[in-house]
């Protein structure tokens, strides 16, 4: 992974709106158009209404006109490694291929690399609705 993806995730983390959890998270996607799309978690006083960093980045990617996640970096200020939550795994899988790499970062860089298939084997998919 090139350093710019890590830097983008770390910069995005600085934009987190996390006054309730005080747990800022940043995510950065390199998409199929070669561009980097980043996002942070955005919380809400009605707690379930908040959302994670990964869907913010996915939203930026889609609105930027890109279609697929080539690789994605995730960083959390207060965790040495922040594996995407279950819901985010499914959201990433929607725009990834099984071998899409996920980089778990700390403040110095990438600490662990895994694929979405390793993080979410047997993800929900069906031909009935898709």
Binding stretches for ligand THU (CB under 6 A): 18, 21, 23, 25, 41, 43, 50, 52-54, 84-85, 88
Number of H helices, E strands in the chain: 4, 5
Instruction: Say if residues 36 and 30 touch (Cβ distance below 8 Å).
Output: yes
User: For ligand THU, which is the closer residue by CB, 33 or 42?
Assistant: 42
Q: Closest separation between CB of residue 20 and ligand THU, Å?
A: 7
CA distance 87 to 57: 14
| Catalytic annotation, pick one of 54, 71, 112, 127 | 54
Sign of the alpha-carbon torsion through 5, 97, 41, 114? negative
Q: How far is the CB of 93 from ligand THU (least distance, A)?
A: 13
Pair of tokens at residue 122: 């047997």
| 49 vs 128 by CB, closer to ligand THU | 49
Among residues 121 and 130, whose Cβ is nearest to ligand THU? 121
At closest approach, how far in Å is the CB of 127 from ligand THU? Answer: 28
How many angstroms separate the Cα of 18 from the Cα of each of 22, 84, 93?
Answer: 5, 16, 25
Tell me whether residue 54 is one of the annotated catalytic residues.
yes
Catalytically active residues are 54
């Amino acid at each position: 992974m090139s350093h710019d993806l890590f830097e983008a995730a770390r910069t995005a983390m600085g934009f987190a709106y996390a006054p309730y959890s005080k747990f800022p998270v940043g995510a950065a996607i390199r998409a199929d158009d070669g561009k980097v799309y980043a996002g942070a978690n955005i919380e809400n006083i009605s707690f379930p209404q908040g959302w994670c960093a990964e869907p913010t980045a996915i939203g930026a990617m889609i609105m930027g006109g890109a279609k697929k996640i080539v690789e994605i970096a995730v960083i959390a200020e207060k965790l040495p490694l922040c594996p995407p939550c279950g819901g985010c795994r499914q959201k990433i899988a929607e725009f990834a291929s099984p071998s899409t790499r996920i980089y778990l970062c700390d403040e110095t860089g990438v600490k662990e690399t895994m694929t979405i298939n390793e993080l979410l084997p047997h993800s929900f998919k069906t031909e009935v609705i898709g």
